[in-house]
Structure 1
Amino acid sequence: MIELTLAEIADAVGAQLFGDPELRVSASVETDSRLVQPGSLFVAKPGEVTDGHLFVDSARKSGAIAALVEHRVEVEIAQLVVADSVAALGKLAKFVIEKVRAKSNLTVIGITGSNGKTTTKNMLGAILAKFGPTVSPIESYNNEVGAPISMLKIDYETKYLVVEMGADGPGSIAYLADMAKPDIGVILKVGLAHVGEFGDISITAQIKGELAQAIGPDGLLILNSDDSHVAAMANLSKAKTVWFGTHQADYLASGQQLSLAGTSFDLHWPEAAIQPVSLKILGEHHVMNALAAISVADQLGLARETVIAALEEMPLAERWRMQLGKRSDGVYVINDAYNASPESTKAALQTLAHLGKSGHRTIAVLGEMAELGSQSREQHDAIGRVAVRLNIDQVVVVGAGAKLIHMGATQEGSWDGESKFFDEIDQAFDYLDGMLEPGDLVLVKSSKSANLRFLGDRLLEVGQ
Structure 2
Amino acid sequence: MIAFTAAEIAEITHGRLAADPGLTPGSVVTDSREATAGSLYVAKPGEAADGHDFVAAAFDRGAVLALVQHDVADGAGQLYPAVVVEDSVLAMGALAAEAVRRIRARRADAGQSFTVIGITGSAGKTTTKDLLAGILAGHGETVSPQGSYNGEVGVPLTVFKAGFDTRYLVIEMGATGIGHIRYLAELVRPDIGVVLGVGTAHAGEFGGVENIAVAKGELVEALPAEGTAVLNLDDARVSAMASRTRATVLGFSAQPDKAGESAPVLAEDVELSAGGNPEFELRLPGGDRHHVASQLIGAHHVANLLAAAGAAHAAGIPGEQIAASLSAQSAASRWRMERTERPDGVTIINDAYNANPESMRAALRTLADLGRGRRTWAVLGAMLELGEDSIREHTAVGTQVVRLNISRLLVIGREARALYVSAVNEGSWGDECLFAETVDEAYEILRSALEPGDLVLFKSSNSIGLRHLGDRIALPATATEGSPLP
Normalising by structure 1, we get a TM-score of 0.97
Structure 1 residue 304 corresponds to structure 2 residue 307:
no
Contact 2:277 2:294 in 1 (8 A): yes
Match of 1:99 in 2: 102
Contact 2:291 2:323 in 1 (8 A): no
Consecutive unaligned residues in structure 1, runs of 5 or more? none
| Secondary structure in 2 matching 1:334 | strand
- Give me the whole-angstrom Cα distance separating, in 1, the residues matched to 2:462 and 2:273: 26
Match of 1:387 in 2: 401
Contact 1:67 1:77 in 2 (8 A): yes
Please list, as runs of the form range in 1=range in 2, the aligned pairs for 1:122-141 lying within 5 A after superposition: 122-141=130-149
Please list, as runs of the form range in 1=range in 2, the aligned pairs for 1:19-168 lying within 5 A after superposition: 19-26=19-26, 28-75=27-74, 77-104=80-107, 105-168=113-176
Change (3 A) 1:423 1:65: same
| Greater mean deviation of Cα atoms: 253-262 or 420-429 | 253-262
**CA RMSD, aligned part only?**
1.3
Match of 2:15 in 1: 15
Structure 1 residue 275 corresponds to structure 2 residue 304:
no
- Give me the whole-angstrom Cα distance separating, in 2, the residues matched to 1:435 and 1:417: 10
What is the CA-CA distance between 1:61 and the residue it aligns to? 1.7
- Count matched residues: 462
Identify the match of residue 314 of structure 1 among 303, 306, 329.
Answer: 329
Please list, as runs of the form range in 1=range in 2, the aligned pairs for 1:326-345 lying within 5 A after superposition: 326-345=341-360
| Greater mean deviation of Cα atoms: 312-321 or 238-247 | 312-321
| Greater mean deviation of Cα atoms: 127-136 or 183-192 | 127-136
Structure 1 residue 182 corresponds to structure 2 residue 190:
yes
- Give me the whole-angstrom Cα distance separating, in 2, the residues matched to 1:263 and 1:40: 44
- Give me the whole-angstrom Cα distance separating, in 1, the residues matched to 2:213 and 2:247: 19
**Letter paired with 1:36:** A
- Give me the whole-angstrom Cα distance separating, in 2, the residues matched to 1:352 and 1:44: 43
Change (3 A) 1:318 1:292: same
Structure 1 residue 365 corresponds to structure 2 residue 373:
no
| Secondary structure in 2 matching 1:413 | coil
Contact 1:205 1:230 in 2 (8 A): yes
Query: Identity of counterpart residues, as a percentage?
Result: 48
- Give me the whole-angstrom Cα distance separating, in 1, the residues matched to 2:155 and 2:431: 46
**Letter paired with 1:418:** E
What is the CA-CA distance between 1:443 and the residue it aligns to? 0.3
Deviation digits for residues 194-246 of structure 1 (CA, Å, limit 9, x no counterpart): 11111210000000011111112111100000000000000001110001111
What is the CA-CA distance between 1:450 and the residue it aligns to? 0.9
- Give me the whole-angstrom Cα distance separating, in 1, the residues matched to 2:445 and 2:137: 44
Contact 2:281 2:290 in 1 (8 A): yes
Identify the match of residue 419 of structure 1 among 430, 433, 438.
Answer: 433
- Give me the whole-angstrom Cα distance separating, in 2, the residues matched to 1:416 and 1:272: 54
| Secondary structure in 1 matching 2:22 | coil
- Give me the whole-angstrom Cα distance separating, in 2, the residues matched to 1:414 and 1:308: 43
- Give me the whole-angstrom Cα distance separating, in 2, the residues matched to 1:80 and 1:416: 62
What is the CA-CA distance between 1:310 and the residue it aligns to? 2.4
What is the CA-CA distance between 1:436 and the residue it aligns to? 1.3
Please list, as runs of the form range in 1=range in 2, the aligned pairs for 1:348-359 lying within 5 A after superposition: 348-357=363-372, 359=373
Contact 1:38 1:63 in 2 (8 A): yes
What is the CA-CA distance between 1:8 and the residue it aligns to? 1.1
Structure 1 residue 239 corresponds to structure 2 residue 255:
no
- Give me the whole-angstrom Cα distance separating, in 1, the residues matched to 2:322 and 2:60: 43
Contact 2:383 2:460 in 1 (8 A): yes
**Letter paired with 1:43:** V
| Secondary structure in 2 matching 1:426 | helix
**Letter paired with 2:238:** V
Contact 1:193 1:341 in 2 (8 A): yes
| Secondary structure in 2 matching 1:311 | helix
**Letter paired with 1:362:** T
What is the CA-CA distance between 1:323 and the residue it aligns to? 0.3
- Give me the whole-angstrom Cα distance separating, in 2, the residues matched to 1:422 and 1:77: 49
- Give me the whole-angstrom Cα distance separating, in 2, the residues matched to 1:239 and 1:354: 39
| Secondary structure in 1 matching 2:286 | coil
**Letter paired with 1:79:** A
**Letter paired with 1:229:** R
Normalising by structure 2, we get a TM-score of 0.93
Change (3 A) 1:458 1:261: same
- Give me the whole-angstrom Cα distance separating, in 2, the residues matched to 1:43 and 1:416: 53
| Secondary structure in 1 matching 2:287 | coil
| Greater mean deviation of Cα atoms: 451-460 or 409-418 | 409-418
Contact 2:290 2:323 in 1 (8 A): no
**Letter paired with 1:69:** V
What is the CA-CA distance between 1:261 and the residue it aligns to? 6.2
What is the CA-CA distance between 1:258 and the residue it aligns to? 4.2
| Secondary structure in 1 matching 2:326 | helix
Match of 2:444 in 1: 430
- Give me the whole-angstrom Cα distance separating, in 1, the residues matched to 2:53 and 2:37: 19
Contact 1:130 1:306 in 2 (8 A): no
What is the CA-CA distance between 1:266 and the residue it aligns to? 2.2
